[in-house]
Amino acid sequence: MNITKLTLNNSRMTFVLMALIISLGLMVYTDFPSREDPLVRINKAMIIVKFPGLPPEQVENLITKKVEEKLREIPGIEFINSVSKTGQAVITVSAFEHIEDYIKVWDKVRRKLDETKQVLPQGAIGPIFNDDYGDVSIFTAALTGQNWSMAQLRAHARKIRDRLYTINGIRRVTLHGLQQEKVYVEGVSSVVESNSIDFINLVGSIKDQNLIIPAGKVLTDVREITVETSGKLQSKKDLDELEIRSTNGGTVPLKDYLSLRSSYGEPSTELAYFNGKPAVVIAASMQMGRNILELGPQLKLLLKQVNLELPVGMQLQIATFQADVVEHSIDSVKESLYQTLLIVLAIVILSLGVTEGLIVGITVPLTILASLLVMFFLEIDLQFISLASLIIALGMLVDNAIVITENIHLRLHAGENRRKAALNACQELAWPLLTSTLTTVLAFSPILLAQTTAGEYTRSLAQVVSISLLISWLLSLTVVPLLAVHFIRKKQLHAPFILIPIYQKFVTWVVNFPKRFLLAITATFMFSVYILSLVPVEMFAVSSRSEVLVYVDLPAGYNVRQTEQATSKLTDWLLDSEHNPDVNYVSSYIGTGGPRFFLSIIPNSPAPNNAFMIVNTQSADSASNMLAKIRNYAAKNLAHINIRTELISRGTVPPGVVQLRFTGPDADQLFALSKQAEAALADIPGALHVRNSWENKTSRYRINIDQAKVRRSGITYQAISQSLQATFSGVEITTIRRDDTLIPVIMKVKSTSREMAKSSNPLDLVKVYLNTGEPQYVLLSQVATIESVSQFGSIVRRNMQKTITVEGKHSRWKAPELQAAWDNKIKDIYENLPSGYSIELGGELEGFKNSAGTLFVTLPLFIGLILCLIVSQFNSFRKTLIVACTIPLAFSGGFIGLYLTGANFDFIGALGFISLAGIIINNAIVLIDKISAEQVRGKTKLDAILSASTNRLRPILITTVTTVLALIPLMMMSESLFYSMASVIIFGMSLGTIMTLGAVPALYMILIKGSKTSANQLKENR
C-alpha cells in the first residue's frame, strides 16, 4: 500500500484528521496527568521488630536472623539489609528490579512474617511491615500552637486528615511528630516499701477492673438487647478514684499511695519541629494517574479554610508543596520547549524559504500534539523527563520532512508535476528514511529494557523520542507531500548553498588523500578519549530545588534529648536572619526520618541519636551557599556531632559519596578493619562526612544474678524483671480508652533525691517485692551485681552476613578521585585481608556501574538490529561498515564537549552517547544512499561521491544545526539534569557531522571497489 498515494487521493479526510489531531492534542495537553518526576516503582519494603531493652547482639541472634531466614526463602527477594540496635531490628528487603508486580512479592513477605511470629521471643513487638516505603508526599504541613498541648494538636491534626481524605485523588495521609500521651502512676520507693505494696498484685487488680469482656445479650420476644458494663477507665480521673487493696485487707484509693500525672513518652521516640516549634506534620500522597496541578489548588483552598477554622494560637503552615515545584519545573521545561519550537521553525524557514519552511514547520507542532495523544493513551505522564524528551526530539524530527521537501523541490524543477514529484520523492526516500528513523529508535531502546531504578526513571525518554520520531516519519510521507502539492509552486532553484564551493574543495582533497584524512580523524578520536579521562564521573546531577538536607548524627548511645538539644541549637542559628537571610523555614524530625517528600530521599531508620532537617532557602544558589555555612558552623559549635549537608539529588546516593563494604564472620575483626579504613579516609585532606554504618561502641549494664541467693530468698525472675523495669523505665499496666485513642498507663517507682545521692550502686535503687507470708522488699543489690559491658551501637547485615559500610565524600573531588586516593591508602588492608572477609565497592560508583551496566547488557542486541537494518538497506557489508565507523566520530565531539562545558559524565550523559550513535549514522545512511543512487544512474565512483556529497550537504547541515540549536534551551535550563546529555549531543553532532562529511567519502573511496559506470559492476561491489 502506497501511503502517500492514499493520502493524496483522500486529501480532505487527511485535513480532517490533521484538525482532529490538533484539537484533541490541545485538549489532552491542558488536562495531562502531571508530576515532577516519572513514576518509579520502589522495590523496597521495611520490616520493624521491637523488643525494648534487648542488646544489639541478642536482637541480631533472636530476632534479625530469624526474620532473615524466612525472607531468604522468597525467590523474588534480591537483597536483605538489616540493622540491629538496642531494642529494635529494622530489616529492609529489596525485590529484583525486573519483577513486574511487587505486590505479589510483598504478599509472600507478609505470609513469611506471620510464620516468623512463632519463632520470635515472647515479648517481641511485630513484625511491623511497611510496603508503602516509596510513597512520596505531595505536600507536608506543620500544625503548631502556642500554649496548646500535643494532645490538642493531635486531635486537630486528625480532623484535618479526615478533611484531606474528602479530596478526590488523595491516597494516604500520615501524621508525624505525634507524641504518645501517657499516664504515669508513680510511687516513692520508701512509701511503697513501708506500705508493702505488691506491684504484681496491684497491676493485676488494675487490669481486672479495666477488662473489656462481653456481657452478653438479652433476648425478648421482639428485640435483642446488648448488655454493657461500666467501670472501664476512660480518663485519668477514673484512675484517681480506683481503689486497691491495702496490707490490712481493706481498700484504699490509689492516689493515697501513688501519684498520678499525665505526660508524654519519656523519652519521646518521635519529635517534629517547624521553625523551632513543636509540631504535628501532616503529609499526603497522591493516587496514581492523577494530575498534581489539579490537586494543588484544591489542597491550598482546603488548607486555607482549615487555617481560618483553627482556634486562636494554632497555625497550619505549608512546609513542602509539590504542586508549586511541579508547576515551576514543568513551566520551565515548557518555556524551553516553546523556545526550541521557535528556533526550529526559524531555521527551516530561513534555510528552505517561507513556503517550504512552513510546510516543514507545520509538521513540528503536529508531531508534538500527536505524540501527546499517544503518550496519553500509553499513560506516560507529563513530567520533567518526558517534556525534556520532546525538546531532544524536536531537532531530530524535522530531518525526514526536510529531506522529503528538498527532494520534491528538485523534482519540480526537473520538470515533474507536483503530484508526480511528491509521489516519486516519497517512494524513493520512504525506506531509507524509515531505516534512519528506526536506527535512532533502536539506539534509544536499551533504556526501555534497563532493569534498574535509574532505567525506569529515564524510560520515558526513550518512549517519547521513539514515538515522536516514528510519527514524524509518518507525517513526512503524508502531510508533507499533501501540503507540497497544494502550496509549492515551480520557481527558481534555491540559490547555491554558500558552503558548497568550500565543501567541494574539501571533498576533492579527501577523496584524493583518504588515508591522510582518516589518520587525522583517528588521532582526533584518540585525543578525545584522553580528554574523557579528565571528565568527572557522577551518577546523577543535583536537583535545582532550594532545599538543603541536613543529617544530624550523634554518637550511638545518646538519647533523644541530646539530639533535640543539638537540633534546636542548629535551628536557632539557621533562623537568625542576620546570619542567614536566605533561610525561609526549617523542618526537623528527631528520632525519625519524617515523610519522603522527594523520590530519591530515603528517610532515616528510627534512632534516638539521629535527626533529619530540611532547610528551605530562597533559591537553588542560596541552598548551594548554605552547605559550606552549615558545615563551618557545625565544626565550631557542634564539633562532637557528625552533621552532613546535601543538596537534593535525583540519585539514591548523593553525588561524590564513596563507600566500601566490609563483610566477614567475626564482628570484632570486621569492626577493626572498618575503623582502619575509616581513619584512612578521614586522613585525606578535604574528606567530609566520614562514618561507618555500625557507629561507635556503647556500653550497657549487665545484671549478674546470684542463682543460689535468689532461690534461697524466694524471689522470682519475673519480680526482678518487673522491678528493674518499674524503677528505670516503667511498666505498662493497662490503657485508658478515650474515644478512639488508647492512652498507656505506666507504673514507675521513684527514688528520693537523698536515696539517689547515697547510692553508689544503681541496684540499691531497685527493690524487689518478696511475699513470704509477711510482705517485704529486698534490695536487688543483695542478690545481684552490676557491670558495664561494651557493645556495638548497631550491627548491620547484608544478605545474612555481617557487613560494615564505611563512607565519605570530599569538599572538591568527585567520587572516582576520592576512591582512588582512598584505595591507595588502604593497600595493606586489600593485600592482607583475612580469609573469609571481602571488600565490595559501594556508593555512587557502584550505582553508576550497575545502572550503566544494564544499558550495555542489551546494547549489543540493539547494535545488531541496527546493523541488520543497514545491511538490509544497502545489501552490503562494506557500506554497513562505513556507517558504523561514523559512530566514534560523534563520540569524539561528545567527549570534548563534556570537558569544554564542565559537565560531568553521568548516567544521563551515557544515555546521550547511546542516542548520539543513532542520530549520527542517519547522515551516513542518507549520504551513502545518494552516492549509490548516483552510481546507478551511470556516474563514476568519484563523480558520484562529489555529486552526492554536495547534494546532501544542505539537508544534513540544516538537520544538524536544527538539532544543535534546539538543545541550547535545554542546556541553559536551571535544572541541570540534562546538561551533560545536551553537551554530548551538541558537540557530538557538530564535530561528528563535520568529520562524517569527510569520513564517508574517504571510506567509500577505499572500501567500495570499481569506478566504471555500469550498474552491473556496482552490484558486484555490494
Taking Cα atoms as reference points, which of 669, 644, 612 lies closest to residue 792?
669
Q: Is the pLDDT of residue 276 over 60?
A: yes
Per-residue pLDDT, averaged over 786-793, amounts to 83
Q: What is the mean pLDDT of residues 322-331?
A: 80
Give the pLDDT of residue 192.
Answer: 60
- The widest CA-to-CA distance across the chain, in whole angstroms, is 126
Q: Shortest CA distance to 408 belongs to which of 363, 367, 360? A: 360
Overall average pLDDT of the 590-600 stretch: 82
Question: Counting Cβ atoms within 10 Å, is residue 23 exposed (0-12), middle (13-18) or buried (19+)?
Answer: exposed
Give the pLDDT score at 759: 59
Question: Which of 112-121, 377-386, 685-694 bottoms out in mean pLDDT, i.e. has the lowest?
Answer: 377-386
Helix (H/G/I), strand (E/B), else coil: 282 = strand
- Which pLDDT band, with edges at 50, 70 and 90, does 587 fall under? very high
CB-based burial label for 255 (10 Å; 0-12, 13-18, 19+): middle
Least confident of 129-138, 679-688, 1000-1009: 129-138
Indicate the average pLDDT of the chain. Answer: 82
Nearest Cα neighbor of 725 from 748, 703, 709 is 748
Q: Is 1008 helix (H, G, I), strand (E, B) or coil?
A: coil
Closest CA to 594 of 140, 45, 47, 125: 140
501 in helix, strand or coil?
helix
* CA nearest to 543, candidates 328, 734, 730: 328
pLDDT at 147: 83
Q: How many helices (H) and strands (E) does the chain have?
A: 36, 31
Give the residue carrying C-alpha cell 520512504. Answer: 430
DSSP-derived letter for residue 827 is H
* Residues 6+ away with beta carbon under 8 Å from 107: none
Q: Compute φ and ψ for 79, nearest 5 degrees.
A: -130, 145
Query: How much is the pTM?
Result: 0.80
Beta bridge partners of 81: 92, 798
Phi, psi (rounded to 5 degrees) for 618: -80, -20
The amino acid at 129: F
| pLDDT band with cut points at 50, 70 and 90 for residue 394 | confident
* pLDDT of res. 1010: 56
Please answer whether residues 611 and 588 qualify as being in contact, where contact means their C-beta atoms are separated by less than 8 angstroms: yes
- Is the distance from CB of 472 to CB of 363 less than 8 angstroms? yes
Q: Is the dihedral of CA 730, 732, 736, 737 positive or negative?
A: positive
Query: Residues 1006-1012: what's their mean pLDDT?
Result: 68
State residue 569's pLDDT score.
92
What's the CA gap between 862 and 859, in Å, rounded?
5
Q: What does each C-alpha distance from 846 to 664, 694, 920 come to in angstroms?
A: 20, 21, 30
| pLDDT of 570 strictly over 90 | yes
Question: Is the distance from CB of 285 to CB of 276 less than 8 angstroms?
Answer: no
Q: What does the pLDDT read at residue 440? A: 85
* Measured distance CA(310)–CA(143) in Å, rounded: 10
> What's the one-letter identity of residue 255?
K
**Band of pLDDT at residue 250, cut at 50, 70 and 90:** low
How many other β-carbons are positioned within 10 Å of the β-carbon of residue 729? Answer: 14
Q: How high is the pLDDT of residue 274?
A: 92
The secondary element (H helix, E strand) that includes residue 261 is: strand 259-264
pLDDT higher than threshold 90 for residue 964: no
Per-residue cell: 756: 539517689
The pLDDT value given to residue 724:
80
> Roughly how many angstroms between the first and final C-alpha of the chain, as a whole number?
29
The letter for the amino acid at 518 is L
Q: What angle do CA 269, 272, 276 make, to 5 degrees?
A: 130
What confidence tier does 1020 reach under pLDDT thresholds 50, 70, 90?
very low
Residue 117 scores a pLDDT above 80: yes
Residues in contact with 16: Cβ distance below 8 Å, sequence separation at least 6, in sequence order: none
Is 133 in a helix, a strand, or coil? coil
The pLDDT of 686-699, averaged and rounded, is: 88
What is the Cα–Cα distance from 138 to 164, expressed in whole angstroms?
Answer: 12
C-alpha span between 524 and 532 (Å, rounded)? 12
CA-wise closest residue to 42 among 628, 452, 316: 452
pLDDT at position 663 is 92
Q: Give, for 45, the enclosing helix (H) or strand (E).
A: strand 44-50
d(CA 330, CA 462): 19
Q: What DSSP assignment string belongs to 967-979?
A: HHHHHTSS--TTH
Q: Which residue's C-alpha cell is 496548646?
A: 148
- Secondary structure of 867-915 as H, E, C letters: HHHHHHHHCCHHHHHHHHHCHHHHHHHHHHHHHHHCCCECHHHHHHHHH
Cα pseudo-dihedral 690, 695, 696, 701, rounded to 10? 170
**Strand (E) or helix (H) holding 704:** strand 697-705
> Can you give the pLDDT at residue 1013?
41
Q: What is the pLDDT of residue 486?
A: 85
Q: Is the pLDDT of residue 1022 over 50?
A: no
Q: What is the CA radius of gyration of the chain?
A: 36
Between 125-139, 183-197, 716-730, 927-941, the lowest mean confidence (pLDDT) is in 183-197
At 413-441, the pLDDT tens digits run 777 888 888 888 888 888 888 888 888 88
pLDDT one-digit tens code per residue, 893-952: 989 999 998 888 887 888 888 778 877 888 888 888 888 888 887 788 888 888 888 878
Q: What is the percent of the chain where pLDDT is above 70?
A: 89
Cis peptide before 121 (omega within 30 of 0): no
d(CA 888, CA 42): 37
What pLDDT is attached to residue 415? Answer: 77
* Spatial distance between the Cα atoms of 986 and 912, rounded to a whole number of angstroms: 10
pLDDT value for 847: 80
Give the pLDDT score at 417: 84
Which whole-number Å values give the CA distances from 323 to 304, 328, 598, in the listed order?
16, 9, 12
DSSP-assigned states of every residue in 51-92: -TT--HHHHIIIIIHHHHHHHTT-TTEEEEEEEEETTEEEEE
Cell of 163: 478533611
C-alpha cell at 500: 558548497
pLDDT for position 775: 59
pLDDT score for 1018:
36
Distance in angstroms (rounded) separating the CA atoms of residues 174 and 988: 48
% of the chain residues with pLDDT over 90: 14
Using DSSP's 3-state secondary structure scheme, residue 306 falls into: helix
pLDDT of residue 599: 73
Cα distances (Å, whole numbers) of residue 541 to 37, 387, 625, 649: 14, 18, 17, 6
The number of residues making up the chain comes to: 1022
379-394 in b/e form (b: 16+ CB < 10 A) is: ebbbbbbbbbbbbbbb
Q: How confident is the model at residue 678 (pLDDT cuts 50, 70, 90)?
A: very high
919, 985 contact by CB (below 8 A): yes
Q: Where are the beta strands (DSSP E) in 290-361?
A: 314-321
Nearest to 644 by CA among 744, 751, 570, 696: 570
pLDDT one-digit tens code per residue, 722-759: 778 777 777 777 788 777 778 888 877 776 545 555 55
Quick check: 912 and 905 in contact, CB under 8 A? no
The three three-digit cell numbers of residue 951, written as one number: 547534494
The answer to whether 132 and 275 are in contact (CB under 8 A) is: no
3-state secondary structure 191-202: HHHHCCCCHHHH
What are the phi and psi torsion angles at 249 (to 5°)? 95, -10
Q: Assess whether pLDDT exceeds 90 at residue 624.
A: no
Q: How many C-beta atoms lie closer than 10 Å to residue 122's C-beta?
A: 5
Contacts of 467 (CB under 8 A, 6+ apart): 371, 374, 375, 378
Q: Which of 432, 426, 437 lies closest to 467, judged by CA? A: 437
Q: How high is the pLDDT of residue 352? A: 79
Of residues 862 and 239, the one with the higher pLDDT is 862
Q: Judge residue 103's burial from the number of C-beta atoms within 10 Å of its C-beta, 0-12 exposed, 13-18 middle, 19 or more buried.
A: exposed
Question: Is pLDDT at 469 greater than 50 in this prediction?
Answer: yes
Q: Dihedral sign for Cα 981, 984, 987, 988, please.
A: negative
